[in-house]
């Protein structure tokens, strides 16, 4: 038992460096694969997948010897970015099952199971759920379940894919496991062989004090592992505030279609991780490593949070088409600012809102056509200038706006019903129509407008003078006049006193 935890699961991904590469290139799962490091001819194998291990490829082998053992071996440079992303993906997949995890190293996660049995069933069912979650993010894991981390870790290495050790049977179950099954520090395996030890039971039968006196702390840790004893405290893992997928490239990418394919694969892995944690993307950041040594970064703000690969890929492609990288790309990194997934119930008697992915794609295409500064939500500016407005970033809050507009529309209808008979309605023209105006003693006397209007002013009222921003280069000064023409029409004329231009601003009905 560890820190009061009665049941623990160990989720283990074998050949983790190779599994991280397979996650980036799923087609490699069908071939013997080795993750290698170093430069030719001194390359060495770091990890190998199951097909390569079956051909005798082991970590530490020189590249030439590995190829001799497995002529069809595919080699890829070990990627620190791919391993870091896969490590976080495995942790996040387990987090969808249990809130208490421990990051025990690359490809190794300890999961506390206390309190989960009422939700998911017995240990076997929880182990299967953990495997499904790991497969959903592109990793094939083995699961061992026992009363402690040591026993669960050994169970994850031997036996079935989901190996459950019943409470109280851990030491007996571990006893026949060969020592060669586990990985030991350098020189320790040779010492065990000299002592004639073959199984974990042989090691656990030795007196602990004697092992510690001869082998030190390393020997004590090995003895505890063989006996299934945990002495270290459980260190819970906390998820990071951002979610990232990165991938280095073995070649330079100089065209947008090829770059979009790489970004789409990274998006698939990122979205699978977010979906497993019940999160959606609110803002997506892309950072491209360039062959010139610099970086090209872009940010895509979504109109509505989503986790669908296709629209996110389309948005990234549109953003990079509008702002292409200045040099060939040698690495990509995607970072998502995630928010919890929330249900959005519909409203009675209202048509359904557009799907978030469709809305986001439409906004991205509009921004590409007319520029990002020309797409947004109109906002009235606090000014005395008629029709002063600006654009704010679109927030997608249409539902709330509709709900607030309903009572206002009702009040407007009531006010119209109470309008006295004989009142005039004003019809404003947007945009205002340019006209020619003759004045007499500073007042309008005649109006000419296309196509064939030439009428005298019978009577007029005004001016109503407005001005503002006199302290700025955007100063404005405006006079408004209400005029009746000889054809019995009533007009609202606007005179820009700075440019001495006239416009038909509105017509009275």
* Contacts of 455 by beta carbon, 8 Å cutoff, 6+ apart: 446, 447, 485, 486, 487, 489
Alpha-carbon distances, residue 81 vs 131, 184, 327, 333 (angstroms): 23, 27, 21, 9
CA angle 506, 508, 509 (to 5 degrees): 130
Is 80 exceeded by the pLDDT of residue 359? no
State the pLDDT at residue 302. 79
pLDDT surpasses 50 at 401: no
Question: What is the token pair recorded at 137?
Answer: 């993010």
Q: Could you tell me if 334 and 266 lie in one domain?
A: yes
Residue 259 included in any domain: yes
403 and 448, same structural domain?
no
In angstroms, rounded to a whole number, what is the distance separating the alpha carbons of residues 432 and 453? 16
Residues 498 and 391 in one domain: no
In this predicted model, what pLDDT tens digit does every residue of 413-438 receive, in sequence order? Answer: 444 445 555 567 888 888 888 999 89
Q: Is residue 418 part of a domain?
A: no
Give the HSE-up count for residue 394: Cα atoms under 13 Å, Cβ half-sphere.
21
- Give 142's strand partners: 12
Tell me the C-alpha distance between 208 and 282, whole Å.
Answer: 55
Q: Which of the pair, 127 or 358, is modelled with greater confidence?
A: 127
**How far is 402 from 406, CA to CA, in rounded Å?**
6
Say yes or no: 362 and 456 in one domain.
Answer: no
Predicted pLDDT at 419: 53
How sure is the predictor about 19, in pLDDT bands with cuts at 50, 70 and 90?
very high
Instruction: List CB contacts of 183: < 8 A, sequence separation 6 or more.
Output: none
Angle 256-276/123-136 helices, nearest 10 degrees? 160
Residues facing 373 on adjacent strands:
none
Mean confidence (pLDDT) of the chain = 84
pLDDT exceeds cutoff 50 at 407: no
| pLDDT, mean of residues 141-165 | 90
Tokens linked to 317: 């492609």
Q: Are residues 408 and 467 in the same domain?
A: no
pLDDT greater at residue 400 or residue 197: 197
Q: How far does Cα 129 stand from its chain's mean position?
A: 24
Q: List the structure tokens of 10.
A: 């160990």
- 188 and 247 share one domain: no
Q: Are 265 and 218 within one domain?
A: no
Question: CA separation (Å) from 184 to 124, 156, 190?
Answer: 29, 16, 10
Kindly state the average pLDDT of the residues 432-460. 88
Shared domain check, 155 and 196:
yes
Quick one: average pLDDT of 116-130? 91
- Integer distance in angstroms from the first to the last C-alpha of the chain? 86
Pairing of strands 453-468, 329-340: unpaired
Q: Cα 304 to the chain's mean position, in Å?
A: 13
Statement to judge: residues 13 and 159 lie in one domain: yes
404 and 430 housed in the same domain: no
Domain contains 2 = no
- Of 412, 440, 457, the position where a domain reaches its end is 412
The sheet with strand 162-164 has its strands ordered as 101-105, 108-112, 8-12, 142-146, 162-164
DSSP state of 250: E
Q: Which of 21-25, 348-352, 468-472 has the highest mean pLDDT?
A: 21-25
Which residue, 177, 194, 227, sits at the end of a domain? 227
Instruction: Look at 344 and 508; give whichever has higher pLDDT.
Output: 508
Residue 348 maps to a domain:
no
Does the residue 3 lie in any domain?
Answer: no
Question: Residue 478 belongs to what domain range?
Answer: 426-508
Q: Could you tell me if 150 and 157 are in contact, meaning their C-beta atoms sit under 8 angstroms apart?
A: no
Q: Angle CA(287)–CA(288)–CA(289) in degrees, nearest 5?
A: 125
> Strand locations in 213-307, DSSP E?
243-253, 279-290, 295-306
- Return d(Cα 347, Cα 68) in angstroms, integer: 67
Q: How many domains does the chain have?
A: 3
Identify which has the larger pLDDT, 405 or 260: 260
What residues have CB less than 8 Å from 330, skipping those under 6 apart? Answer: 248, 249, 252, 253, 289, 290, 291
| Domain boundary residue, one of 362, 383, 412 | 412
**Over 60: is that where the pLDDT of 166 sits?**
yes
Per residue in 469-498, pLDDT (tens digit) is 877 777 888 899 998 988 888 988 999 888
pLDDT at 287 exceeding the cut of 80: yes
pLDDT at 314 > cutoff 50: yes
Q: DSSP class of residue 32?
A: -
506, 492 Cβ separation under 8 angstroms? yes
Are residues 40 and 62 located together in one domain of the fold?
yes
Q: Average the pLDDT over each of 21-25, 394-398, 447-451 and give the range with the smallest value.
A: 394-398
The CA distance from 238 to 338, in Å, is 15
Domain identity same for 379 and 503: no
- Residue whose entry in the numeric block shows the structure tokens 């199971």: 113
The CATH code of the domain that includes 359 is 3.30.1490.100
Q: Are 31 and 21 in contact (CB under 8 A)?
A: no
Is residue 457 domain-resident?
A: yes
Q: Which pTM was predicted?
A: 0.59
Range of lowest pLDDT (153-157, 178-182, 194-198, 303-307)? 303-307
Instruction: Spell out the residues 6+ positions from residue 334 whose beta carbon is closer than 8 angstroms to its own.
Output: 244, 245, 246, 263, 266, 267, 270, 284, 285, 286, 287
Residue 405 has pLDDT above 70, yes or no: no
Which CATH number goes with the domain that contains 176?
3.30.70.270
């Amino acid at each position: 038992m560890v820190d009061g935890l009665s049941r623990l699961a160990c989720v283990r991904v074998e050949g983790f460096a190779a599994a991280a590469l397979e996650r980036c290139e799923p087609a490699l799962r069908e071939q013997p694969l080795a993750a290698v490091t170093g430069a030719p001819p001194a390359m060495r194998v770091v990890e190998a997948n199951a097909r390569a291990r079956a051909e005798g490829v082991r970590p530490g082998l020189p590249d030439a010897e590995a190829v001799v053992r497995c002529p069809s071996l595919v080699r890829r440079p070990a990627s620190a970015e791919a391993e870091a992303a896969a490590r976080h993906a495995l942790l996040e997949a387990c987090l969808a099952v249990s809130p208490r995890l421990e990051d025990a190293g690359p490809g190794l996660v300890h999961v506390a199971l206390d309190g989960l049995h009422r939700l998911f069933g017995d240990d076997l069912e929880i182990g299967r759920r953990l495997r499904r979650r790991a497969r959903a993010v592109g990793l094939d894991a083995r699961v061992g379940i026992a009363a402690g981390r040591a026993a669960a870790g050994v169970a994850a290495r031997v036996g079935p894919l989901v190996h459950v050790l019943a409470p109280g049977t851990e030491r007996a179950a571990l006893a026949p496991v060969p020592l060669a099954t586990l990985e030991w520090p350098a020189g320790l395996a040779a010492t065990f062989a000299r002592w004639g030890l073959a199984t974990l039971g042989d090691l656990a039968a030795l007196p602990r004090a004697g092992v510690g006196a001869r082998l030190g702390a390393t020997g004590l840790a090995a003895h505890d592992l063989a006996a299934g004893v945990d002495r270290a405290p459980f260190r819970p893992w906390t998820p990071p505030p951002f979610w990232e997928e990165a991938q280095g490239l073995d070649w330079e990418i100089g065209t947008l279609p090829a770059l979009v394919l790489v970004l789409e694969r990274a998006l698939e892995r990122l979205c699978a991780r977010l979906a497993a944690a019940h999160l959606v993307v609110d803002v997506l950041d892309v950072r491209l490593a360039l062959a010139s040594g610099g970086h090209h970064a872009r940010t895509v703000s979504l109109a509505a949070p989503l986790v669908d690969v296709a629209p996110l890929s389309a948005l990234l492609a549109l953003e990079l088409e509008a702002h292409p990288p200045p040099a060939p790309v040698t690495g990509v990194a995607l970072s998502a600012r995630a928010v919890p997934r929330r249900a959005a119930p519909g409203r009675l008697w209202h048509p359904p809102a557009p799907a978030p992915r469709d809305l986001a794609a439409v906004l991205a295409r509009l921004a590409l056509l007319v520029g990002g500064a020309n797409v947004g939500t109109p906002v009235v500016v606090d000014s005395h200038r008629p029709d002063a407005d600006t654009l704010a970033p679109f927030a997608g809050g249409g539902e709330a706006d509709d709900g607030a507009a309903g009572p206002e529309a009702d009040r407007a209808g009531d006010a119209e019903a109470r309008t006295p008979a004989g009142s005039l309605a004003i019809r404003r023209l947007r945009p205002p129509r340019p006209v020619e105006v003759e004045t007499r003693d500073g007042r309008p006397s005649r109006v000419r407008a296309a196509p064939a209007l030439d009428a005298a002013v019978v009577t007029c009222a005004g001016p109503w003078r407005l001005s503002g921003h006199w302290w700025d280069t955007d100063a404005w000064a405006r006079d408004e006049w209400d005029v009746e023409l000889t054809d019995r029409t009533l007009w609202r004329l606007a005179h820009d006193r700075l440019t001495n231009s006239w416009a038909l601003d509105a017509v009275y009905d």
